């Protein structure tokens, strides 16, 4: 494996840590990375694409900015050139991220707040969805409400969903250690009382279903948008 290939692999790994804030999925698994190259002098060129021309500019800005930060931190990268293509606000987003201007300055006269509060709102949403993903198999296996309330994170069987839930809770500064309760309020971090558990689990399920539905829609739109155009006389 050549050094250039190794660096490209590292850049792709770094991009795998960048997530769509609404879907809580990586831009690589969603197919949002259109291309990724690294020059001999360490300049990384990444082209990002989204499911529609009108995807929310605040979500897009977060992804481009996070991609810039992730790629810039890769050993061997001298400069990160992150470009969002085929988007109505691509000029403002690309120029703003490259200049490290922030969202408000990039959209002067249109934006009034930076995006950290929005990011936190979506991470809380990811905690709700993650709670459902971890609890549903436990309920299906026979765990009652009393069992779920008594469970700590360290007593749940290891899984990718559990790791994801821990990571989102830690991102918000919520309890995420082995001795911390499995079911908590994503707003306060407090353990959920037994009498509040049914409503809590319903909200978690509704949130997860919504996220999964949006993810499926976005995957389908992206696939259709960038489907190769058939030659005349051919079918796709």
Per-residue pLDDT reduced to its tens digit, 175-213:
999 999 999 999 999 999 999 999 999 999 999 999 999
- For 225: left if phi > 0, alpha if psi spans -120 to 50, otherwise beta; the answer is alpha
- Predicted model pTM: 0.91
Question: Residue 1's pLDDT is what?
Answer: 45
Closest residue by Cα to residue 17 from 70, 73, 72, 79: 70
What would the two tokens of residue 179 be? 């001795």
Question: Residue 4's pLDDT is what?
Answer: 60
Q: Where are the alpha helices (DSSP H) in 100-192?
A: 103-106, 116-140, 145-150, 160-171
What number of other Cβ atoms are within 10 A of residue 47's Cβ?
16
Q: Which domains does the chain have, with CATH numbers?
A: 3-106 (3.30.300.130), 116-222 (no CATH)
């Amino acid at each position: 494996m050549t050094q250039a290939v190794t660096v490209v692999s590292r850049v792709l790994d770094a991009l795998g840590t960048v997530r769509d804030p609404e879907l809580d999925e990586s831009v690589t698994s969603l197919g949002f990375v259109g291309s990724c190259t690294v020059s001999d002098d360490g300049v990384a060129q990444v082209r990002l694409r989204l499911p529609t021309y009108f995807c929310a500019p605040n979500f897009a800005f977060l992804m481009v900015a996070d991609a810039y930060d992730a790629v810039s931190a890769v050993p061997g990268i001298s400069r990160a050139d992150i470009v969002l293509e085929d988007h109505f606000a691509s000029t403002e987003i690309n120029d703003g991220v490259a200049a490290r201007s922030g969202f408000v300055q990039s959209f002067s006269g249109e934006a009034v707040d930076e995006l950290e509060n929005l990011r936190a709102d979506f991470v809380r949403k990811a905690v709700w969805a993650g709670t459902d993903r971890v609890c549903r198999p436990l309920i299906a296996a026979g765990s009652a409400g009393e069992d779920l309330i008594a469970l700590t994170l360290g007593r749940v069987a290891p899984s990718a969903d559990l790791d994801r839930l821990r990571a989102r809770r830690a991102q918000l500064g919520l309890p995420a250690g082995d001795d911390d309760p499995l079911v908590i309020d994503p707003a306060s971090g407090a353990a959920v009382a037994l009498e509040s558990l049914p409503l809590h689990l319903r909200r978690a399920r509704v949130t997860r279903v919504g996220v999964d539905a949006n993810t499926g829609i976005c995957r389908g739109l992206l696939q259709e948008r960038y489907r190769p155009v058939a030659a005349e006389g051919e079918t796709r």
